[in-house]
Chain A
Amino acid sequence: MTITLYDFELSGNCYKLRLLMSILKLRYDIVPVDFYPGRQHKADWFLRLNPFGQLPVLKDDDLVLSDSGAILAYLAKKYDETGLWFPDDPAISAEVLRWHAVADDITSTASAARLALGFFYDFDVDKAQKSAHRIFRLMDEHLWFGEKAGRDWLCSPAHPTTADIACFPYVMLSEEGGISRQDYPALRRWTDRVRRIPGFIVMSGIFPAGRALED
């Protein structure tokens, strides 16, 4: 197998795949795509890979895939021998996909605010920020009651799933879009836990957390 990631270093959606592939210890090649300022994701050669003109794209031998959430599910189902990252159980699969959808909402709000402030996109920053706060509020509540019930992650299993990977990057990068996480203490604690998953890697703007336990 040869995996190739069409990647933009500052993209949270590309980082999701780098993060899962690092956790799963997968080797892959990178083809850099200059999303900004080059707008290469709208170039003809890229549109032939993904007509939607969105990053990331992943090639596994001859198979060409797009959409970060779909690729996370593919990588987990194909390469995670433990079956934990995208569990087969129908109810849990539905739970994971539910949070993949939240991840897309985070992209269209928190990530949009970041693109407006950092990449000069002509978006309604105020609206994007307010909508992101509404999602973060719900996530904080979900995670706070999760902690009370002994659940550390977004979904019910006792381990992280691709749902956590999918939601994590643009939560962590929210301050670049002017969205403070001060009012979401349980959300902040969850980001500590994600950052302590063995195999965790950083990207620009996403820092490591301290060690969790004394060994």
Chain B
Amino acid sequence: MTLSLADPTWYPIASSEDLPFRHVYQGQLLGRELAVWRADDGNVNVWENRCLHRGVRLSIGINEGGELKCQYHGWRYANRSAGCTYIPAHPADAPARRIQNRTYPVREAYGLIWSAANDEQAFRPFAGAEGYDWFALRPMPVNAAPEDVLAGLVGLAPDDQPADLLPGLAVRFGGTCYFVQPVDAGRAVIRGLLREPPADTLATLRHYNEILSKLRDRLERSAARKPTPEPLQPTFEKLSADLATMPDIAIPRGNTITVVVRRKWTSADGVIGFELAARDGHLPTFQPGAHIDLHLPNGMTRQYSITNGPGELMSYIIGVKQESASKGGSKVLVETVREGDLLSISEPRNNFPLRRDAIRTVLIAGGIGITPLLSMARFLDKSALPYELHYFTRAGETVAFRSELEALHGKIIFHTGLPRTEIGTTIASALGQWSMAQHVYVCGPGPMLETVRDTAAAQGWPEESIHFEYFRNDKVIDNSSSFDVELARSAMTLHVPSGKSIMEVMREAGLTVPSSCEQGACGTCLTSVIEGEVDHQDVYLNDSEKRANSCMMTCVSRAKSARLVLDI
């Protein structure tokens, strides 16, 4: 029998007890090295043992509970998806969603961790597995061909109890099952299971360990007399065409994902929590600060921040403010969507990335603006990085996500019902004077964001250290101008009349233009400007970005000059 790299059989690759809290186990199956780790939520991850960045083994990395951090340059990967969540060399940027490590199928059963080279076969209990409380023996690595190891195990069966061969390199006799994990062509691990826990655990474990050690020594002596088998040569698959080619200039809205409303509850007066769960498996990787578009039953699309902590991908939890029914979006959600309903969401996008290299991180939330900051606090918390979270609520408003915030270890300060003047001084003292590597993140109502931005600037905070996210653009959009836009790549010139946005005109001309909020808040329609003077009306770009005149939001911003040349 020769081993096949494509063998779809499920084999045990570790004992459950090999994966204690915050450990990374190093394993191998059919020539492929594996990094195996249990997240704090109990989920077991089986990944290719190789960081996508420089190929360093992830098994020497750090299990942070919700993310695995590579030891070399600190790239982090999320529990379940193995998607990259942070690249320290680019602390201000959100990593591309497509940076995702290879994962292998995994099941935990009978005290063992099982995996397979591919997911062509569903996991099935081995014959006769049901009805017993299986007990794992000490695994025994053997430097011999897996088929020889199996033959050796068959030879252990007493004469009156003939060995029963099971599919997938396994054998059973009496109350004992032995599985052979094919590590490589010349290496195997014997994983034994007893039908029930023995009365004298230690003595029994030592007894079997002795039998298996002797078998191992015999097998290794005979393997040493044979030629060493050629190790398996797994190939690392080439980069997908998707990753190797430049993306299209106009990215369509992206795929939507159907989620089920698993839970809907009142988190605070006027704030409703929604738990949106994947129907099958897990949801895509997100980073702290990310949001999703929610496609509502009435045809509207609204953005909501994900509040989850690292590696929490089985569902996204969002908070919806009841009265902010500006265009009827939140109202529909709150009033008509019930538990069990299906909704469409976009993949997460991140316009509000969190740096994890700051000496000091200040998070400032106003009202429902707590949602992205709760996620940030949870990420910093898991990595034991310091932060201060100031949460401002109006008098009479109750604090949303209070129990979630109280479960954190950082400095969480609630400010309730402060008069306007006091809000300013509280923000000023919360910020303090700026010094190297301090960052502030703020999300809340427009006036509060302005206060934080102005106060921070006055206290010496440079623009790149002030990070903000607007829920919406409260400015009145002046769309009275009319001008021409020249689309350099599309080789067309369009006239934008007053009353219509550049985006609307481009869509009428048949172009596919990505967009989301369409009010200058989310950053989705960011476009490079080649020539002309922009009339910025968005709240997404900061002042120096606006002054640079090199990019714009086509959904609300317009031209001061008669002609604009865009890189579209």
Contact = CB atoms under 8 A, between A and B. Distances in A.
Contact of B202 (A148, A207, A212, A215): A148
B14 A185 contact: yes
The number of chain A residues touching the other chain, given as a range, is 20 to 34
Given A141-B209, A144-B138, A183-B141, A188 B25 contact: yes
B156 interface: no
Contacts of B21: 212-213
Contacts of A145: 138, 202, 205-206, 209
A211 interface: yes
A185 B384 CA distance: 27
B46 to A, nearest CB: 15
Given A211-B384, A215-B409, A182 B26 contact: yes
Grouping DSSP codes into helix (H, G, I), strand (E, B) and loop, the A interface class, with mixed when no group exceeds half, is loop
Contacts of A181: 26
A129 to B, nearest CB: 12
A207 B58 CA distance: 13
A214 B25 CA distance: 20
Interface in A183-197: 183, 185, 188-189, 192
Given A141-B209, A144-B138, A145-B202, A211 B26 contact: no
The number of chain B residues touching the other chain, given as a range, is 20 to 34
Nearest to A137: B141
B557 interface: no
Nearest to A182: B26
Contacts of B85: none
B71 A207 contact: yes
Nearest to A180: B26
Contacts of A208: 62
Nearest to B22: A210
B63 interface: yes
Contacts of B141: 183
B201 interface: yes
Nearest to A144: B138
A185 B205 contact: no
Interface string B59-82: 010111100010100000000000
B18 interface: yes
B384 A188 contact: no
A192 B63 CA distance: 11
A212 B22 contact: yes
A192 B27 contact: no
A211 B65 CA distance: 9
Contact of B60 (A207, A211, A215): A207
Contacts of A26: none
B409 A185 contact: no
Contacts of B65: 210, 214
A151 B321 CA distance: 53
B307 interface: no
B20 interface: yes
A207 B71 CA distance: 8
A209 interface: yes
Interface string A53-76: 000000000000000000000000
A182 B28 contact: yes
A149 interface: yes
B23 interface: yes
Interface string A105-146: 000000000000000000000000000000000000100110
Contacts of A207: 60, 71
A188 B26 contact: yes
Interface string B112-155: 00000000000000000000000000110100000000000000
Interface in B31-57: 33, 40
A109 B409 CA distance: 45
A210 B64 contact: yes
A149 B202 CA distance: 8
Contacts of B205: 145, 148
Contacts of A189: 18, 20, 23
A142 to B, nearest CB: 12
Nearest to A184: B141
A209 B69 CA distance: 11
A98 to B, nearest CB: 20
A144 B62 CA distance: 22
A210 B20 CA distance: 12
Contacts of A211: 22, 384
Contacts of B64: 210
Interface in A160-199: 181-183, 185, 188-189, 192
| Closest 4 pairs between A and B when the two form their complex, measured CB to CB | A183-B141, A210-B62, A210-B22, A182-B26
28 contacts: A141-B209, A144-B138, A145-B138, A145-B202, A147-B17, A181-B26, A182-B26, A182-B28, A183-B141, A185-B25, A185-B139, A188-B23, A188-B25, A188-B26, A189-B20, A189-B23, A192-B22, A207-B60, A208-B62, A209-B22, A210-B22, A210-B64, A211-B22, A211-B384, A212-B21, A213-B21, A214-B40, A214-B65
Interface of A: 141, 144-145, 147-149, 181-183, 185, 188-189, 192, 207-215
Interface of B: 14, 17-18, 20-23, 25-28, 33, 40, 60, 62-65, 69, 71, 138-139, 141, 189, 201-202, 205-206, 209, 384, 409
Given A145-B205, A183-B189, A211-B22, 12 more contacts: A141-B138, A144-B138, A145-B206, A145-B209, A182-B27, A182-B33, A185-B26, A188-B25, A192-B23, A207-B60, A213-B21, A214-B40
